[in-house]
Homo-oligomer: A and B are copies of this chain.
Amino acid sequence: MFGVTVRDHMLVAHSLRGDVFGPAQALHGATYVVDATFRGESLDGDGILVDIGRAAEALHGVLAGLTHRNLDDDERFGGRNTTTEVLAQHVADRLSQQVSAGALGSAGTVTGIAVTLHESHVAWATCEREV
């Protein structure tokens, strides 16, 4: 089993609804340092699972649609809380679509994706899914 990971980041504002969130119910923000891992069983003839350059571009493109925004106003989340877990799932789903659409080139062998969002140096969340 192989995995290739690229790292990027986004800067967003949001608030979270629900007593469980305490002070995070107020409008605040976060830097999410985002690690996206592409997984598969075999390498292609060039010796790669995915092209790291294309993988980085794919992740950057997904984060460009989220960074420097107030996610409370973002219709894509349909009123759902934009928790670290939900955002990780959103990024993983978008990357899965890109892989399926061939945006990563010869990445026919990618069978899984894991996305980790670091919200600080002491907390992070991951979403893993099949492609």
A residues lining the B interface (CB < 8 Å) = 1-9, 11-14, 16-18, 20-24, 26-33, 37, 43, 46-49, 51-53, 56, 67-70, 80-86, 88-89, 105-106, 119-129
Tell me the smallest distance from the CB of A115 to a CB of chain B, in Å: 10
15 contacts between A and B (CB under 8 A): A1-B129, A2-B128, A4-B124, A5-B125, A7-B123, A9-B122, A12-B29, A26-B69, A31-B32, A31-B119, A47-B86, A48-B85, A49-B85, A52-B123, A56-B123
Residues of B within 8 A of A49 (CB): 85, 125
Residues of B within 8 A of A30 (CB): 11, 29-31
Docked complex Cα distance between A48 and B1 (Å): 26
